Structure 1
């Protein structure tokens, strides 16, 4: 097994610097290098390794501070564990059944002048797509016919105007010329510190396995993959994570089973019962949001409003396209960001676009988001005040396409995924699932609880 331990690894250094971490701590990280993991034309393995590595280091740093340890525990990043976790949805089994990852209408389509990719996994998105195309039923040939008559950009605009999701294929150069690409010029992790006082002091971690986030209360207002991966990681590290969804909009079962480990799930109508949310916010340490920038503002849930009402709060905001620019308010998913930013063109051929070997923008940004929260918790130990951190899939895409060098070193064979899989019973059935890749000395190696049924818990803290 090839294992390296040094403080110089460009992607890891870049990510740790973006998080505001002490560069000297990078020496605590070692890597088990494996060939063939997340193999792609772009350096996906290196991105995945860096995101998981800095997340584990941020966890070890916070755990050491809260437990009063003399030094930060050592972190071990195994490419095999990372690669398995980045495709966790493909390894999931529920009572032996494999999940459905993409619906029939979520795919690449030929247009009159190129390609578009659509996302229609949710029923309301599928309905809006069909409406924009003038197609009455979810019939693949009918959609193909409708798209073949239009230009890619025409489809993109028409579907988005209808509230659906479709993105035209762009080359890296075409994306670079797009106004939304200016998000690439911003920081990988945006930090802001509102001028407020902190009023809640976290107790030292209890004896036993190191739980850096023990006692931390996290309100999880996210959906799909990146946000839930971040909060799933915080739950692994001991946080009390309460996911809130609007009633009547259930999460896709397989998605919930994959990313619901360690968390509780409740429904809450923010418009009908604002008092219930305020009661939760009054005792929260962290709020993680994954809706479009501005979408929650009408409920008084902008980062600034949240921190004003809850001094010392950490707000972590995730978006597809970034908080600014003409596409800031657009919905987006990993697959669509790959298409817009030129990744699909790089990974494909002149005849057909391709895709990354994993939804790496989602998973990578999720681990970075968790790391940003952990680092904010550590910084808060040194002084009061709320923190706001922002990340976007588009910015992570820019880092992948232009900011990461491929590791030229050789490693061991990737190994069988079974080494990083486990099974357990749950309210959803017998689960086979990917183990967490975040690993450090004395830390947890699995979640304390499996996912429960979506929306089955009470909207209250333990």
Structure 2
């Protein structure tokens, strides 16, 4: 229970409630040198516990429902993008130029899944738009990794040089991340206590209605890629009305949107040209979740501080890659954070860097972000005040690498070695994790027949699946639901 207790404490939760969580261990799930399974289990466990806590409050229950975390469900959900099938077709998760490259003095990893990032990468390297993988490889083999990192980031692209955990700890950005709490929690004002209408408790029998802790709450989703959308996908599972809003000229990758769009609607709004529409959405929102790099939304008056000032009582959740510091304004993705923080070196070999068995920083931080929102709502019901919560992929990485193979240490490190550990609160080892079929679902949708990973967030009486599949990106009207829609 050590990891769940640490994460629950970081969220400000009552320590006594951690005993409500039990786990089903499955050897073989998310195997790695680092304790990825323990981190994933903890992130999902505290998310489910935060949901159960809020559900108990709103339903007037005498106690918080029990939470059960199954390693099989967690492992399946942490690679949901790999399990997705659309009319039988598997998505492509990484573009050809998103990969490791050998440089003259080491390794660098690039991210070029989006067309604009690919163009900036090639432009920074002085290559044309038709450059091949071989062209890029030949050029990078003659450059230093840090030189490539600086040049590509300077051009607005994404490239990160491979570092060990020790090198990252000595870096100014690594030091800034290490000094940051796992979950930054702020109360910027003394807005009145939130009045949450009661929700129904679960009925028994066929067709039972689940307990939905976030029912009736409106979540404005300004996130992209995986971590933020996983958080809002989870809030949608728990009953929230989630409206994702993107700029019309920057579409999300279609397969990525399909994986993380369950339970939500998706609209395109130009913040510069149609500010009135956005302000109307904001005026009726209870929660705003942002996933753009810090400062990117400030010019639109959408910093967490500005949002809370404009709408007292709002919960604002901010996700970033690097979490402030010298790299605070840089773009970043899970794969790049793994390379910077020493994870790729730990999971690799003398011949080549490695990677975690899942984009665990993305998925783990996504569940932590949802948990932080749920806990903020619970706290508001008791004490009032707007709430701002901030998480960063790099800080989740610091938690994971606190017991790194090269000796890097840190308070709050995830415990365990990736295998069963059996302390209090465990249900003991279950069957080995081999096939994920038990945690997959299928549904028809406007974008085709989908096979998908079910949510691993589970508590007694809670929901087991989303009520709506994803639709096409940007296809919904930019408005909140109205009666009889």
- The normalised TM-score by structure 1 is 0.97
Give the CA RMSD over aligned residues. 1.0
Structure 2 match to 1:436 = 455
Matches of 1:378 and 1:458, distance apart in 2: 30
Aligned counterparts, 1:205-216, within 5 A:
205-206=199-200, 208-216=209-217
Asked whether 1:451 is paired with 2:443, we answer no
CA shift digits 1:341-398 (9 cap, x unpaired): 0000000011100000000000000000000000000001102210000000000000
Shift of 1:274: 1.3
Q: Match for 2:106 among 114, 117, 127?
A: 114
Shift of 1:61: 0.4
Q: Match for 1:128 among 112, 120, 129?
A: 120
- Structure 1: gaps (5+ residues): 1-8
> In structure 1, the residue corresponding to 2:449 is in which secondary structure?
strand
Structure 1 match to 2:421 = 408
Q: Given that residues 199 and 311 in structure 1 are in contact (C-alpha distance below 8 angstroms), is that contact kept between their aligned partners in structure 2?
A: no
Aligned counterparts, 1:90-239, within 5 A:
90-136=82-128, 137-182=130-175, 183-198=177-192, 201-206=195-200, 208-239=209-240
Which range moved further: 404-413 or 431-440?
404-413
Shift of 1:196: 3.5
Matches of 1:426 and 1:206, distance apart in 2: 28
CA shift digits 1:273-320 (9 cap, x unpaired): 111111111111100000000110000001111001101000000000
> In structure 2, the residue corresponding to 1:344 is in which secondary structure?
helix
Q: Given that residues 212 and 239 in structure 2 are in contact (C-alpha distance below 8 angstroms), is that contact kept between their aligned partners in structure 1?
A: yes
Matches of 2:125 and 2:139, distance apart in 1: 6
Matches of 2:224 and 2:310, distance apart in 1: 24
Matches of 1:316 and 1:350, distance apart in 2: 40
Shift of 1:199: 7.4
Q: Given that residues 105 and 138 in structure 1 are in contact (C-alpha distance below 8 angstroms), is that contact kept between their aligned partners in structure 2?
A: no
CA shift digits 1:239-282 (9 cap, x unpaired): 00000000021110110000000000000111111111111111
> In structure 2, the residue corresponding to 1:429 is in which secondary structure?
coil
Matches of 2:344 and 2:331, distance apart in 1: 19
Q: Given that residues 107 and 119 in structure 1 are in contact (C-alpha distance below 8 angstroms), is that contact kept between their aligned partners in structure 2?
A: yes
Q: Given that residues 260 and 450 in structure 1 are in contact (C-alpha distance below 8 angstroms), is that contact kept between their aligned partners in structure 2?
A: yes
Shift of 1:202: 2.4
Structure 2 match to 1:54 = 46
Matches of 2:298 and 2:199, distance apart in 1: 35
Q: Given that residues 193 and 380 in structure 2 are in contact (C-alpha distance below 8 angstroms), is that contact kept between their aligned partners in structure 1?
A: no
Structure 1 match to 2:79 = 87
Q: Given that residues 135 and 146 in structure 1 are in contact (C-alpha distance below 8 angstroms), is that contact kept between their aligned partners in structure 2?
A: no
> In structure 1, the residue corresponding to 2:459 is in which secondary structure?
coil
Which range moved further: 219-228 or 375-384?
375-384
Q: Given that residues 28 and 434 in structure 2 are in contact (C-alpha distance below 8 angstroms), is that contact kept between their aligned partners in structure 1?
A: no
Aligned counterparts, 1:224-263, within 5 A:
224-263=225-264
- Structure 2: gaps (5+ residues): 202-208, 403-412, 423-427
Matches of 1:22 and 1:114, distance apart in 2: 46
Which range moved further: 177-186 or 104-113?
177-186
CA shift digits 1:181-235 (9 cap, x unpaired): 1212211000000114147622111353100000110000000000000000000
- The normalised TM-score by structure 2 is 0.92
